[in-house]
Chains A and B, each alone.
Chain A
Amino acid sequence: MGRLTILNLNQSFPREDGSRLQVLEDFSLEVQDKEFVCILGSSGCGKTTLLRLIAGLDTGESGSIILDGEEMKGTNPKVGMVFQEYSLFPWRTVIDNIAFGLEMQGINKEERYHIAERYLNLVNLTQFRNSYPSELSGGMRQRVAVARALAVDPVLLLMDEPFGALDAQTRNMLQTELLTIWEKTKKTVVFITHSVDEAVFLADRIIVLTPRPGRICETIPLSLPRPRDRTSVEFAQLRRHVLDLINQPKCTLQ
């Protein structure tokens, strides 16, 4: 349940001058069931491209994406996604946003509200059930986005820098909340970030990518038990360790 295998993925984009920019070349990765993996890299290293390919929003030129032994082509109800930007449907209330995926599955009103309310509780926004996204703060909106993605009970959750647009305090709070939800719902998570601190706080394993073409330059397992204290000595050591690895020539060369 929720075991992801990426094999030999290739993706390129046409440039203005006609040549092609290779974004991912022969990319492979294995994510274990219930694992929390962070993909770390600077901008332009192909991490968003990778995520969109896993999600099925785009199609790679070659290679395959396999979930629990089945190859995936296109979007799949077993895979959920939380986008970086404002992706909630502004014309729907919070509860209707969360219930959207269930509505698409044809579940009747009473039942889907019942399920949606469960996830609303999970992200601690029960009293905003009937509010519109425009009435919520950025952090609250992302929590609703998480609830919405989880409501259809995917086995794999993809997150594209979901807290990138938020202030530091909200960010920290949401990271903690995310871990709580992850522990409760036992999903496999692939989380993209360019923040070392965020990756160190959240991940079981950090995958570091180099850009153009996107390639794994380092894989860093993190064994520090959770909850991780951002101010602890161990955390700082772990952080230093990761930073050193990132700054290696093989990870910084173009």
Chain B
Amino acid sequence: MATIAGKEHWIKEHWLGVLALILALVFWACYAALIVKNSFLLPGPGDVLLAFIDLLQKGILLADFGVSLMHFAIGLSGAILIGIPIGIAMGWNRKADEFLNPLIEILRPIPPLAWIPFAIIWFGFTPVSAGFVIFVGAFFPILINTYTGFRGVPRIFVEAGRMLGCTKTNDQIRYIAFPAALPSVVSGIRIATGVGWMCLVAAELFGVSNYGLGKNLWFYYNLHQMDAVVVYMLLLGMIGLAIDMVFRYYIDRHFLKWRTGEVA
């Protein structure tokens, strides 16, 4: 991020990216208007903009965003609260690793979408139900990155700690392993954030709430209003990007400033 102030400087640094976006927009508009000529098969940017303004006026976008954020927060915090301790246990203790590993490896490839029946059965139509589907997506990156981080703590840190009086396992985890593994843990959370956000659409598929970016995406799909569907798709994309940027610029910088000496 440019620390030297000035919009001009920002544009100079990012002009390639901006150019790509403009070209894509133009390409999209021309292709839709001149070749496809069917706003059901491919709504043009104009259709989408009108649909966006219409949705804004109806006032539902803010409610959608709020509800989706809530589902997302439930899923992500569950993944953090459960994934990190298990990752620590498996990373630090070989027996725990051997015990839990086969179970994890079998559950991991099951897509979040496939858990919807159990979401309904266990949690009904509560926000926790939608949060659960997101949890399934976010859990494994956090678990695996925490595990890898803990496994990868250089032995020399632990030994130096032992020489300085850090001999109890709890202290070793708290004062040495966890700080050493933190970059990996944070990385896991960041990946989980991306994956979890992508699960929103699956999470809000089954009528869990009256609002939600995913929920209304399906609502308008059922009514064949593809221009509104594209509005929600783009909103999902841009908000997902914003969340990732928060991670990259704020959390990375705050928690990991001791790494600034390394290649970013």
Contact = CB atoms under 8 A, between A and B. Distances in A.
B165 A104 contact: yes
Dominant SS at the B interface? helix
A133 B261 CA distance: 9
A75 interface: yes
Report the interface size class on chain A: 20 to 34
Nearest to B168: A104
Nearest to A77: B165
A89 B166 contact: no
Contact of B262 (A55, A85, A91, A134): A134
A83 interface: yes
Interface in A100-145: 100-101, 103-105, 132-135
Given A91-B180, A91-B182, A152 B160 contact: no
A57 interface: yes
B93 interface: no
Given A89-B157, A89-B179, A104-B171, A132 B261 contact: yes
A133 B260 CA distance: 11
B177 to A, nearest CB: 11
Interface residues of B, number: 23
B67 to A, nearest CB: 38
Interface in B154-186: 156-157, 159-167, 171, 175-176, 179-180, 182
B259 interface: yes
A152 B161 CA distance: 12
A189 to B, nearest CB: 15
Contacts of A134: 258-262
B166 A104 contact: yes
Interface string B175-209: 11001101000000000000000000000000000
A74 B166 CA distance: 12
A208 to B, nearest CB: 26
Among the interface residues A77, A87, A152, which one has the most CB atoms of the partner chain B within 10 A? A87
A83 B171 contact: no
A81 interface: yes
Contacts of B260: 132, 134
B164 A148 contact: yes
A61 B165 CA distance: 24
Contacts of A45: none
B259 A87 contact: no
Nearest to B158: A57
Interface in B111-170: 156-157, 159-167
B156 A100 contact: no
A7 to B, nearest CB: 22
- Is the contact region of chain A dominated by helix, strand, or loop, or is it mixed? loop
Nearest to B256: A91
A59 to B, nearest CB: 13
Contacts of B162: 56-57, 75
A11 B260 CA distance: 42
A152 B162 CA distance: 13
A75 B165 CA distance: 8
Contact of A75 (B157, B167, B257, B261): B167
A52 B8 CA distance: 59
A135 B165 CA distance: 26
Contacts of A85: 156
B164 A100 contact: yes
Contact of A105 (B165, B180, B262): B165
A71 B211 CA distance: 71
Interface string A72-91: 00110101110101111111
A149 interface: yes
Contacts of A133: 258
B164 A152 contact: yes
B255 to A, nearest CB: 9
A79 B164 CA distance: 9
B176 A57 contact: no
A73 to B, nearest CB: 12
Nearest to B182: A91
Interface of B: 156-157, 159-167, 171, 175-176, 179-180, 182, 257-262
Shortest beta-carbon contacts, A-B, top 6: A134-B261, A101-B164, A104-B165, A91-B179, A87-B160, A132-B258
15 contacts: A57-B162, A75-B167, A77-B165, A83-B156, A83-B159, A86-B156, A87-B159, A87-B160, A88-B160, A100-B164, A101-B165, A104-B166, A132-B257, A133-B258, A134-B258
Given A57-B163, A74-B167, 14 more contacts: A56-B162, A81-B163, A87-B157, A89-B157, A90-B259, A92-B179, A100-B166, A100-B175, A103-B175, A104-B165, A104-B175, A134-B261, A134-B262, A149-B163
